[in-house]
């Protein structure tokens, strides 16, 4: 294993959202990230097991499948013991999640899971037994996003990715059959197999999963659990009907409050935009808080069902963006939740909805930010001394005139003056943030090219952790890369305790 190297502080990273940077620096209108971390370490043990762990019917159906997906007997024994402690109320979870994606999804999925494992270990060492839990959002139906990651192919010297498979637009990605969806993944991993090591193991996981006809989501779960063998990492499926059955009382309680929840989130989003931040939840998400699962598809509630006095049967319900985290938190009562920039914006916007539901919000913990870097090289895309640019300020000046013009256009369209200004400010905040990220990204790409960095360092001029596929990277660099990422996650919280939230560089050799 190569030791991770602490890089630039995240509060100065213009590619991250202003809200996330403000939270890390303690400037947001909520507890600072360090305060959340301390509260997470010091929070008291549970008085009783969370609803999911207390439900023997769900546990007895879920656990055997999870154990079958663990990579070895030691991991199976540890996970069984962890679940027994959770069922007895003798432990809690720290949770993160991500939808399945091409070769495991974006590389930051690894960093999310590593941060969750590190946070669980730190809280356990502080005397509060804690188990890492990964929620697979395999009820998601955005196949374009699922197939967005790229893989670096050293033999061809090129970035590759697969086209999204055909099928109904509302087909859940996790319910899709692996043999039909994973051909490109399996072929690329088979190229790595002769080199042995972790790449060969991942190739074998794909080969067996295709032969067994697994769902694509479960195949991805097996691969992630292999990366974290021996850590006690548990995983649940967002498309598990029995898990949603456990949440029946919660669905019944929130059903008559759907419009109120959406209104509170909308008002919070307007306040975020007015403060110069980004509102994560748009009108489409607010209008569709719940969906129906039917034969592997994610269906919008009909007008008749949506207008009923009681919700449909809980095993058929799947939360939309508005309610996904509240359902997760009600089921598992996490001691902490590991989040990235988008999730932070969403959860800040959801604060009023949590209050409406009487649901306590767990401390939020920033995920690890890292990038694979050629061994012995300078930080990828690092600015030269004195070359820092206020891209946020540049972007703000660019969109100022557009916001004023939009306000006038909205008034001409019949919108009341105050509402027109508010709507225009909200859109302008999105334009500003997008323009700032674009400027910072292109500047970093130019710096990397000028420094002679290989293409996989800033793939397509984009942030590596959001562009490269997780199992593409783990198959290229193997077990040492995963171990370095886990050590970086531990250091991430050590440095965060000192309010030095930083990106970490993970030294790797040139891929062969």
- Element spanning 372, H or E: strand 370-374
Q: Quick check: 409 pLDDT over 70?
A: yes
Q: Quick check: 282 pLDDT over 60?
A: yes
Q: Quick check: 391 pLDDT over 80?
A: no
Contact criterion met (CB below 8 Å) for 350 and 324: no
Looking at 11-15, 53-57, 175-179, 275-279, which range is the least confident one?
275-279
Listed in sequence order, the residues at least 6 apart from 502 whose beta carbon sits closer than 8 Å to its beta carbon are 6, 7, 8, 9, 10, 369, 492, 495
Q: Quick check: 35 pLDDT over 90?
A: yes
Q: Are strands 297-300 and 290-294 parallel, antiparallel or unpaired?
A: antiparallel
Q: How far apart are the first and last CA of the chain?
A: 18
- pLDDT at site 331: 98
Q: Quick check: 83 pLDDT over 50?
A: yes
Question: What CA–CA distance (Å, rounded) separates 376 from 505?
Answer: 11
Summarize the confidence of residues 172-195 as an average pLDDT.
95
Contact criterion met (CB below 8 Å) for 170 and 318: no
Summarize the confidence of residues 437-457 as an average pLDDT.
63
Summarize the confidence of residues 454-477 as an average pLDDT.
96
- pLDDT at site 136: 96
Structure confidence at residue 499 as a pLDDT band (50, 70, 90): very high
- pLDDT at site 390: 65
Return the SS3 of 203.
helix
Return the SS3 of 512.
coil
- pLDDT at site 398: 74
Q: Report in angstroms the alpha-carbon separations of 113 from 120, 311, 347, 507.
A: 11, 33, 19, 19
Summarize the confidence of residues 172-199 as an average pLDDT.
95
**Token code pair at residue 30:** 């909520």
Question: What CA–CA distance (Å, rounded) separates 27 from 320?
Answer: 30
Greater confidence, 116 or 428? Answer: 116
Q: Which residues pair with 504 in a beta bridge?
A: 6, 370
Name the one residue in this structure whose structure tokens are 């360090």: 34
Question: What CA–CA distance (Å, rounded) separates 111 from 466?
Answer: 11
Q: Quick check: 378 pLDDT over 60?
A: no
- Phi, psi values for residue 298, rounded to 5°: -110, 100
Name the one residue in this structure whose structure tokens are 């356990």: 124
Greater confidence, 233 or 427? Answer: 233
Structure confidence at residue 383 as a pLDDT band (50, 70, 90): very low
- pLDDT at site 381: 45
- C-alpha angle 200-205-206 in degrees, rounded to nearest 5: 95
**Token code pair at residue 158:** 């090129």
pLDDT by residue (tens digit) across 143-168?
999 999 999 999 999 999 999 999 89
Work out the percent of the chain whose per-residue pLDDT is above 70: 89
pLDDT by residue (tens digit) across 103-123?
999 999 999 999 999 999 999
Summarize the confidence of residues 449-476 as an average pLDDT.
89
pLDDT by residue (tens digit) across 300-316?
999 999 999 999 999 99
Q: What is the mean pLDDT of the chain?
A: 90
Name the one residue in this structure whose structure tokens are 């913990």: 365
Greater confidence, 337 or 272? Answer: 337
3-state secondary structure 257-291: HHHHHHHHHHHHHHHHHHCCCCCCCCHHHHHCCEE
Structure confidence at residue 406 as a pLDDT band (50, 70, 90): confident
Q: Quick check: 40 pLDDT over 50?
A: yes
- pLDDT at site 377: 60
Summarize the confidence of residues 397-418 as an average pLDDT.
74
Structure confidence at residue 423 as a pLDDT band (50, 70, 90): confident
Structure confidence at residue 380 as a pLDDT band (50, 70, 90): very low
Structure confidence at residue 385 as a pLDDT band (50, 70, 90): very low
Summarize the confidence of residues 378-384 as an average pLDDT.
46
Q: Report in angstroms the alpha-carbon separations of 450 from 158, 186, 277, 398.
A: 19, 35, 33, 27
Summarize the confidence of residues 379-386 as an average pLDDT.
44
- Element spanning 108, H or E: helix 108-125
Structure confidence at residue 276 as a pLDDT band (50, 70, 90): confident
Structure confidence at residue 45 as a pLDDT band (50, 70, 90): confident
User: What number of H helices and E strands is found in the chain?
Assistant: 23, 13
pTM flag (> 0.85): yes
Listed in sequence order, the residues at least 6 apart from 448 whose beta carbon sits closer than 8 Å to its beta carbon are 380, 381, 457, 458
Contact criterion met (CB below 8 Å) for 327 and 318: no
């Amino acid at each position: 294993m190569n030791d991770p190297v602490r890089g630039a502080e995240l509060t100065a990273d213009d590619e991250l959202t202003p809200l996330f940077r403000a939270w890390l620096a303690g400037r947001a209108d909520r507890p600072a990230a360090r305060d959340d971390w301390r509260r997470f370490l010091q929070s008291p043990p549970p008085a009783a097991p969370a609803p999911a762990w207390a439900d023997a019917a769900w546990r007895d159906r879920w656990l055997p499948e999870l154990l079958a997906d663990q990579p070895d007997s030691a991991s199976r024994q540890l996970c069984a013991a962890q679940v027994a402690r959770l069922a007895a109320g003798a432990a809690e979870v720290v949770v993160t999640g991500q939808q399945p994606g091409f070769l495991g999804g974006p590389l930051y999925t690894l960093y999310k899971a590593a941060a969750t494992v590190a946070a669980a270990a730190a809280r356990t060492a502080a005397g509060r037994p804690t188990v890492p839990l990964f929620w697979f959002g395999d009820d998601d139906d955005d196949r374009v996003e699922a197939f967005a990651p790229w893989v670096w192919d050293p033999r061809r010297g090129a970035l590759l990715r697969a086209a999204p498979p055909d099928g109904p637009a509302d087909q859940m990605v996790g319910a899709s059959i692996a043999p039909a969806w994973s051909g490109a993944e399996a072929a690329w991993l088979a190229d790595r197999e002769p080199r042995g090591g972790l790449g060969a193991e991942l190739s074998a996981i794909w080969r067996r999963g295709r032969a067994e006809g697994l769902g694509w989501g479960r195949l991805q779960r097996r691969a992630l659990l292999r990366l974290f063998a021996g850590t006690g990492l548990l995983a649940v499926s967002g498309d598990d009907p029995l898990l949603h059955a456990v949440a029946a009382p919660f669905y019944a309680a929130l059903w008559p409050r759907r419009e109120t929840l959406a209104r509170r989130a909308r008002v919070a989003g307007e306040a975020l935009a007015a403060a110069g931040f980004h509102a994560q939840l748009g009108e489409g998400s607010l209008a569709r808080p719940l969906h129906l699962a039917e034969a592997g598809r994610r269906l919008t509630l009909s007008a008749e069902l949506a207008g009923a006095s009681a919700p449909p049967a809980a095993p058929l319900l799947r939360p939309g963006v508005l309610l996904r985290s509240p359902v997760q938190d009600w089921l598992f009562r996490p001691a902490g939740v590991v989040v990235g920039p988008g999730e932070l914006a969403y959860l800040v916007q959801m604060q009023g909805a949590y209050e409406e539901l009487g649901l306590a919000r767990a401390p939020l913990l920033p995920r690890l930010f890292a990038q694979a870097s050629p061994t012995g090289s300078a930080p990828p895309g690092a600015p030269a001394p004195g070359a820092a640019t206020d891209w946020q300020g540049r972007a703000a000046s660019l969109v100022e005139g557009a916001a004023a013009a939009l306000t006038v256009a909205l008034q001409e369209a019949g919108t009341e003056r105050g509402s027109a200004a508010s709507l225009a400010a909200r859109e302008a905040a999105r334009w500003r943030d997008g323009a700032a990220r674009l400027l910072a990204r292109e500047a970093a790409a130019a710096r990397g090219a000028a420094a002679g960095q290989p293409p996989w360092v800033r793939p397509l001029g984009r942030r590596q952790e959001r562009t490269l596929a997780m199992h593409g990277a783990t198959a290229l660099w193997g077990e040492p890369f995963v171990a370095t990422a886990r050590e970086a996650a531990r250091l991430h919280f050590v440095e965060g305790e000192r309010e030095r939230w930083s990106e970490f560089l993970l030294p790797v050799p040139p891929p062969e």
